[in-house]
Structure 1
Amino acid sequence: MLRKYEALLLLSPELASDSRKEIVEGLVAIIDREGGNMNEIDDWGSRQLAYPVQNQTRGYYVRLVFNAPGPLVAELERNIRITEGIFKFVTVKLDEKEQAEEA
């Protein structure tokens, strides 16, 4: 059963736009390969951080919304952890009530 998830990624602001695009495309490819499907890619751009993270005061935010089985999320997070340029992330399962309302 596919559930709806949201992943918020914080990328290094020093990455070139091509590198950021390549990272996101790689994650989308993992989602597709493992049986999930993308709903939305939301590029929030570069923003000031509330506090320094790994000596960075700015970060580039990207939000991914996707449907996936549970094991896919573990594989996606594993790949995020080993990807250079991503220094923070969070993945959450979206509320099932929202899913029913959207349907």
Structure 2
Amino acid sequence: MANNYETLVLLSPELAAEDRTTILDTLTGIVDREGGKMVETDDWGMRQLAYPVQKQTRGYYVRLVYDAPGALVAELERNIRITDGIFKFMTVKLAA
């Protein structure tokens, strides 16, 4: 059974635009490969952080909304954890 999920990803401000695109293409590819469906990719751009995170005061925000089974979320988060350039993320299950 597929549920709606939202993952907010915080990318390093030092990444070039093509590196950000590569990371996001990889994440959306994982969703497609594991049987999910991307609903929306919302690019919030560079923003000031409320407090320093890993000595960074700015970050590039991207919000991913997708329909997926629960196992896909675990695989996506595993890949996010090992990807250089992503230093914070949060996944929430959206109300049906």
Give TM-score scaled by structure 2 length: 0.99
Q: CA-atom RMSD, angstroms?
A: 0.3
Matched with 2:74 is 74
Q: CA deviation at 1:42?
A: 0.3
1:24 aligns with 2:24: yes
Specify which structure has the higher proportion of helix: 1
Q: Determine what percentage of the aligned residue pairs are the same residue.
A: 71
Q: Which runs of 5+ in 2 are unaligned?
A: none
Kindly provide the CA deviation profile for residues 43-94 of structure 1, in whole angstroms up to 9, marking residues without a partner as x: 0000000000000000000000000000000000000000000000000000
Mapped partners of 1:38, 1:71: distance in 2: 15
Structure 1 residue identity aligned to 2:60: Y
Structure 2 residue identity aligned to 1:31: V
Structure 2 residue identity aligned to 1:67: D
Q: How does 1:75-94 map to 2 (within 5 A)?
A: 75-94=75-94
The structure with the largest alpha-carbon Rg is 1
Aligned length: 96
